[in-house]
Amino acid sequence: MSTDAAQQATWLTQEAYDRLSAELQDATGPRRADIVSKIEAAREEGDLKENGGYHAAKDEQGKLEARIRQLTQLLRDAKVGEAPADNGVAAPGMVVEVRYEDGDTEQFLIGSREDKAEVPVYSANSPLGLALTGAKAGDKVSYTLPNGGSMVVELLSAEPYTG
């Protein structure tokens, strides 16, 4: 797998993958059919220019189709697996604790926003997620901030997420 492909993959737990697959199946089946029925019923009412039900159903259809595209891409690029080994190395699926330059500490899961975690979730593809991946406790890594500056963080610990 190329570096670009590896960076675009989204790590998901099996539970998150199954939940998203079920949402996609529902969206492409019953929910899509329900919206099509609403649109057809509204069309039968006549003048579409002043038909609020028609416009609301078309709006709902647009949002659903966007979510279907998002889920399809997410699931296509997903890397599903068990939590990584408990070896203290930061990676997707690990809860990490870091210390920022100002001394503040933070704990978060390196994963996907689709993971329903008890701790904040930072994308493995974010600048901080990418910088931490492969680091061990005691390592200091630098990452680029949105304003173009950089920050150094120290990895204090990395443990598999047990959610």
Phi-psi sector, 10: left (phi>0), alpha (psi -120 to 50), beta: beta
**Backbone phi and psi for residue 15, each to the nearest 5 degrees, phi listed first:** -60, -45
- Residue 41: which pLDDT band, with cuts at 50, 70 and 90? confident
Residue carrying the six token digits 């993971």: 115
Contact of 93 with 111, CB cutoff 8 Å: yes
Give domain 3-80's CATH architecture: Orthogonal Bundle (1.10)
Domain residue ranges of the chain, discontinuous segments joined by +: 3-80, 94-160
Q: How confident is the model at residue 2 (pLDDT cuts 50, 70, 90)?
A: very low
Pick the CATH number of 94-160 from 3.30.360.10, 3.30.70.20, 3.30.565.10, 3.10.50.30: 3.10.50.30
- The pTM assigned to this predicted structure is 0.56
| Residue among 14, 37, 27 nearest 70 (CA) | 27
pLDDT tens, position by position, 87-118: 889 988 888 999 999 999 999 988 776 656 67
Do domains 3-80 and 94-160 share one topology? The answer is no
Question: What does the pLDDT average to over 51-66?
Answer: 90
Average per-residue pLDDT for the chain: 84
In the structure encoding, which two tokens stand for residue 39, read together? 């649109």
CB distance 103 to 153 below 8 Å:
no
Task: Give 10-29 pLDDT, tens digit per residue.
Answer: 667 777 788 889 999 999 99
